[in-house]
Structure 1
Amino acid sequence: MEKNDAIQWYPGHMAKASRQIREKLKLIDIVVEVLDARLPVASKNPDIDQYTEHKRHLVLLNKADLADPDQNQKWADYLKGRDSVDEVMLYNAFDQKKRPELVAKLRSLNPKDKKQLKCLICGIPNVGKSTIINSLIGKKKTQIGNKPGVTKGQQWLTAPDGLMLLDTPGILWPKFEDPEVGVHLAWIGSIKDTIFEKENIAADLLKFLVGHYPQDVAALYKIDLADKRLPEIFDAVAKSRGLLLRGGEYDYFRTSEMLLNDFKNGKVGRITIDQR
Structure 2
Amino acid sequence: MSEEKIEYIQWYPGHMAKANREIKEKLKLINVVIEVVDARLPLSSKNPEINQYTWNKQHILLLNKSDLADPEVSLEWIEWFKKNTEIQKVVLFDAFDRRMKTELVRTIQDLNVKEKAQVKCLVCGIPNVGKSTVINSLIGKKKTQIGNKPGVTKGQQWLSTPDHLMLLDTPGILWPKFEDPLVGLHLAWLGSIKDTIYEKENIAADLLKYLLIYYPGDLEALYKIEVEGKNIPEVFDAIAKSRGLLIKGGEYDYARTSVLILNDFKNGRIGRITLERPE
Any idea what the Cα deviations from partners look like across 1:118-140, whole Å, max 9, x if unmatched? Answer: 00000000000000000000000
Aligned length: 275
Match of 1:173 in 2: 175
2:207 alignment partner AA:
L
Match of 1:201 in 2: 203
Q: Distance in 2 between matches of 1:228 and 1:31?
A: 46
Correspondence for 1:138 among 137, 140, 144: 140
Match of 2:161 in 1: 159
Q: How far is the alpha carbon of 1:96 from its aligned partner?
A: 2.5
Report the 3-state secondary structure (helix = DSSP H, G, I; strand = E; otherwise coil) of the residue aligned with 2:123. Answer: strand
Call closer, same or farther: CA 1:71–1:247 in 2, change over 3 Å.
same
Q: Distance in 1 between matches of 2:55 and 2:228?
A: 51
Q: Distance in 2 between matches of 1:215 and 1:22?
A: 46
Q: How far is the alpha carbon of 1:167 from its aligned partner?
A: 0.1
Q: Say if 2:92 is the partner of 1:55.
A: no
Q: How far is the alpha carbon of 1:226 from its aligned partner?
A: 2.1
Match of 1:103 in 2: 105
Q: Distance in 2 between matches of 1:142 and 1:60?
A: 18
Whether the 8 Å CA contact 2:93–2:101 is kept in 1: the answer is no
2:121 alignment partner AA:
C
Any idea what the Cα deviations from partners look like across 1:79-108, whole Å, max 9, x if unmatched? Answer: 123443111110001223321111000000
Unaligned runs of 5+ in 2: none
2:188 alignment partner AA:
A
Whether the 8 Å CA contact 1:154–1:167 is kept in 2: the answer is yes
2:25 alignment partner AA:
E
1:231 alignment partner AA:
P
Report the 3-state secondary structure (helix = DSSP H, G, I; strand = E; otherwise coil) of the residue aligned with 1:101. Answer: helix
1:173 alignment partner AA:
W
Map 1:223-238 → 2, pairs under 5 A: 223-238=225-240
Any idea what the Cα deviations from partners look like across 1:183-226, whole Å, max 9, x if unmatched? Answer: 01000110101111111111111111111111111111111112
Correspondence for 2:219 among 212, 217, 235: 217
Greater shift, 35-44 or 83-92, is seen at 83-92
Q: Distance in 2 between matches of 1:190 and 1:214?
A: 25
Whether the 8 Å CA contact 1:35–1:123 is kept in 2: the answer is yes
Q: How far is the alpha carbon of 1:246 from its aligned partner?
A: 1.8
2:163 alignment partner AA:
D
Match of 1:68 in 2: 70
2:275 alignment partner AA:
I
Return structure 1 stretches of 4+ with deviation > 3 angstroms: none
Correspondence for 1:264 among 243, 261, 266: 266
Any idea what the Cα deviations from partners look like across 1:142-184, whole Å, max 9, x if unmatched? Answer: 0000000000100001111110000000000000000010001
- Aligned residues: percent identity? 67
Map 1:74-113 → 2, pairs under 5 A: 74-113=76-115
TM-score, scaled relative to structure 1: 0.97
Match of 1:275 in 2: 277
Match of 1:41 in 2: 43
1:99 alignment partner AA:
K
Report the 3-state secondary structure (helix = DSSP H, G, I; strand = E; otherwise coil) of the residue aligned with 2:220. Answer: helix
Match of 2:13 in 1: 11
Q: Say if 2:88 is the partner of 1:119.
A: no
